[in-house]
Amino acid sequence: MSETNEGADPQGEAEEPSEATRPKKKRKKKAKAPREGVPSFAQRFPRDESLDALLAAFDRGDYGRVREDGARLVKSTDDPAVRRAAEELLRRIEPDPLAKYMLLAACLLLAFFTVWYFSHRLAPTP
């Protein structure tokens, strides 16, 4: 046998490191409990009285109030986190740009087919 194998385990398994030499495991931080009555995208929004009122209106589906009070909150607040949250709420109630283009295309098709129908009528046969 060679000198390197003299002190080795006969089955070739390495010994586990002792408690002192083993690196400590990093513990994960406990997740905060989700806020009740708040949509999932708004869980990280800061707590602010007027922002919470906007979130409640958003959750109820009162988008007119969100649009009015959200714009007012963006202009009046000094806290940048609250301003970003209000802008996010305003962005979420805007219609999808693709939906706007599809509605425009549908209206143009309707106008085209209406003009086509009235311009290509067959004359009555005598």
* pLDDT tens-digit readout, 24-72: 777 777 656 566 667 777 778 888 888 889 988 988 899 999 999 999 9
Tokens encoding 33: 């409990």
pLDDT digits (tens, 9 = 90+) for 95-120: 999 999 999 999 999 999 999 999 98
Distances in Å between the Cα of 81 and the Cα atoms of 37, 45, 87, 88, 118 are 20, 8, 10, 11, 57
> Phi-psi category of 111—alpha, beta or left, where left has phi over 0 and alpha has psi -120 to 50?
alpha
Q: At what angle do helices 49-60 and 63-76 cross, to 10 degrees?
A: 160
d(CA 10, CA 23): 27
CA distances from 80 to 23, 46, 58, 73, 83 (A): 41, 10, 20, 11, 5
Sorted by where each begins, the domain ranges of the chain are: 37-115
Amino acid at 106: A
pLDDT for 10: 56
Higher-confidence position of 35 and 7: 35
pTM for the model:
0.57
Q: What is the pLDDT of residue 69?
A: 92
- Using CA atoms, how far apart are residues 115 and 58, in angstroms rounded to an integer? 42
